[in-house]
């Protein structure tokens, strides 16, 4: 790589389930320097008993961030790209207007719908076509909740379906497309044929006319609309580039050293535990273990399992804050270290933890039901969550090794959870493998990496990953306390069947 005479700036708009961030990445020909431009909260709003996303407020925040760039930076932007969580979507009419606020994936309208869908399409049929993990909030079941017989008229009016980041790309550029990595999460994308599996929607009497063309990550969508240029003060053309719009796909693209002996954990509200492979692995064993084959960059597949992440502890943290007990992550870690080890364990993927009214009570009730000591203190609850997450990671990593025959020696943890050193150490201990933590901002880095590839500033993915490695500091955690964690894992395995 040759150092540039001038920095080139890219802008990553990274929308998470709890916050949005706009990150400026300066590229000097050798590495990236990230700076936070704008951060804003995100979360569901309840309307008429249902949870929705406030996309108009998010759009307002994005434009505020663009205006802030215009007044704070002298360099023109070389690209803008948006990524977000998966599965959620918007429906637009023929004029391109939103028909209703998009639903939040934790909304209860999809409860019980999988069983109804399976009466028309078996699990085997769905998995053979899509290779996607069965989760109750997948896009397929959300659409099925809107079928005409449910009393909704929205689908009948819909002209376009766009995933969440595709909506913002449309508002930025005026072009309607669905980026590949997010399309693969819907459970109506044909994994091996690389197309919308319209036959699945037809079998469920769902329309297909609103599906948008699928484009690969790194696609140039057009330039920033002139009215947005004027409104934000940018006053120059800016390329709008679809990165890997699924945030996990962008995060995986940014993992230095990812190879055949490495598993990864994209750690945040959710934990995505997986491998990078060349072709979809659609087998009876993959189906039985409920793994997923999601699209990655450069034609790769992310074989992974979507498991509960820091959501359990985030919800406890939120409840403590409501009664005036505001604990930082460092304070929670210190409290956990002072609590007894392996006192109480839970299965983080148990249904009662998906969206309980009171997470602390849900954890306590689970322990009561499984005849374990009830976690009461901040330290006991925190340790319960973190130890259980680490043990759950082991089940997934061992399944990945068995499915692929790979000898997995290293676990690479990226995302916000990579900052949680106690969880990283617990993961190393539980899995009996080295854990390498970082980068924290993997999603934003992967987003701008794809933009840099699209604009010719990077030659290939391998070069980009090397550039990221030179731009950050990684931290290694070696396994310890092997006997104690092995005994705890035996207990944990008993809980999964409780």
Residues 6+ apart with CB under 8 A from 283: 403
Q: Which of 4, 9, 134, 128 is nearest to 66 (CA)?
A: 9
d(CA 329, CA 253): 27
Pair type for strands 32-41 and 19-27: antiparallel
How far, in Å, CA of 257 to CA of 272, rounded? Answer: 18
Q: What residues pair up with 329 in beta bridges, in sequence order?
A: none
**295 pairs with which residues across the strands?**
301
Of the candidates 307, 291, 246, the residue with the CA atom closest to the CA atom of residue 404: 291
Going by their DSSP bridges, the two strands 410-414 and 262-267 should be labelled as parallel
Q: Which of 288, 340, 285 is nearest to 123 (CA)?
A: 288
Give long-range contacts, CB 8 A cutoff, 24+ apart: 321-328.
325/378, 327/378
Buried b (16+ CB within 10 A) or exposed e, 28-39: beebbebeebbe
Give the three-state DSSP class for 334. Answer: helix
Of 83, 166, 247, 347, which one is the catalytic site residue?
Answer: 247
Nearest C-alpha neighbor of 110 from the set 82, 78, 150: 150
Q: What does the DSSP assignment read for 142-179?
A: HHHTTSGGGT--HHHH-SEEEEHHHHHHHHHHS---EE
Give the separation between CA 442 and CA 421, rounded to whole angstroms: 17
Could you tell me which of 106, 235, 92 has the C-alpha nearest to residue 170? Answer: 92
Count Cβ atoms within 10 A of the Cβ of residue 481 and give its class: 0-12 exposed, 13-18 middle, 19 or more buried: middle
Kindly tell me the burial class for residue 100, based on how many C-beta atoms sit within 10 Å of its own C-beta (0-12, 13-18, 19 or more). middle
Nearest residue to 132 (alpha-carbon basis) of 305, 16, 267, 266: 305
How many Cβ atoms sit within 10 Å of the Cβ of residue 147? 16
Question: What single-letter DSSP state applies at residue 110?
Answer: G
Whether the bond between 439 and the residue before it is cis, its omega within 30 degrees of 0, is yes
CB atoms within 10 A of CB 365: 14
> Which residues have a Cβ under 8 Å from the Cβ of 148 and sit 6 or more positions away?
155, 156
Residue 93 known to be catalytic = no
Distance of CA 486 to the CA centre of its chain: 29
Catalytically annotated residues: 247
């Amino acid at each position: 790589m040759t150092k540039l005479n001038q920095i080139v700036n890219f802008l990553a708009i990274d929308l998470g389930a709890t916050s949005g961030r706009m990150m400026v990445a300066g590229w000097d020909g050798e590495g990236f320097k990230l700076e936070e431009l704008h951060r804003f909260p995100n979360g569901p709003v309840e309307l008429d008993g249902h949870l929705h996303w406030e996309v108009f407020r998010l759009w307002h925040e994005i434009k505020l961030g663009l205006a802030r760039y215009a007044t704070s930076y002298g360099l023109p932007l070389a690209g803008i790209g948006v990524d977000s969580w998966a599965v959620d979507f918007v429906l637009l009419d023929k004029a391109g207007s939103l028909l209703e606020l998009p639903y939040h994936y934790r909304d209860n309208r999809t409860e019980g719908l999988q069983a109804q869908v399976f009466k028309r399409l078996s699990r085997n049929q769905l998995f053979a076509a899509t290779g996607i993990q069965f989760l109750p909030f997948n896009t397929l079941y959300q659409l099925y909740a809107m079928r005409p017989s449910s009393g909704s008229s929205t689908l009948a009016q819909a002209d376009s379906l766009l995933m969440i980041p595709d909506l913002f790309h449309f508002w930025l550029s005026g072009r309607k497309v669905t980026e590949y990595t997010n399309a693969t999460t819907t459970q109506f994308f044909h994994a091996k044929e690389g197309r919308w599996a319209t036959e699945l929607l037809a079998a469920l009497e769902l329309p297909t006319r609103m599906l948008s063309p699928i484009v690969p990550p790194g696609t140039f969508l057009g330039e920033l609309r002139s009215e947005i240029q004027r409104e934000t003060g940018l006053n120059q053309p800016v390329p709008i580039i679809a990165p890997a719009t699924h945030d996990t796909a962008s995060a995986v693209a940014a993992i230095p050293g990812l190879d055949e002996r490495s598993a990864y954990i994209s750690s945040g509200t959710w934990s995505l535990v997986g491998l990078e492979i060349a072709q979809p692995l659609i087998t009876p064993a993959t189906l039985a273990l409920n793994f997923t084959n999601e699209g990655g960059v450069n034609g790769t597949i992310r074989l992974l399992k979507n498991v509960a992440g820091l959501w359990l502890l985030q919800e406890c943290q939120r409840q403590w804050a409501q009664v005036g007990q505001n604990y930082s992550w460092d304070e929670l870690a210190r409290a956990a270290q002072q609590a007894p080890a392996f006192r109480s364990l839970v299965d983080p993927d148990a249904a009662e933890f998906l969206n309980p009214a009171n997470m602390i009570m849900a954890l306590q009730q689970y322990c009561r039901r499984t005849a374990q000591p009830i976690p009461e203190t901040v330290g006991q609850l925190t340790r319960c969550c973190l130890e259980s997450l680490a043990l759950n990671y082991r089940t997934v990593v061992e399944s990945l090794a068995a499915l692929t025959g790979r000898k997995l020696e290293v676990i690479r943890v990226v995302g916000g959870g990579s900052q949680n050193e106690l969880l990283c150490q617990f993961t190393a201990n539980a899995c009996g493998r080295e854990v390498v933590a970082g980068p924290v901002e993997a999603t934003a880095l992967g987003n701008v990496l794809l933009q840099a590839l699209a604009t010719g500033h990077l030659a290939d993915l391998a070069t980009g990953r090397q550039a990221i490695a030179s731009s950050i500091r990684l931290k290694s955690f070696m396994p310890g306390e092997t006997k104690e964690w092995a005994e705890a894992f035996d207990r944990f395995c008993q809980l999964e069947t409780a």
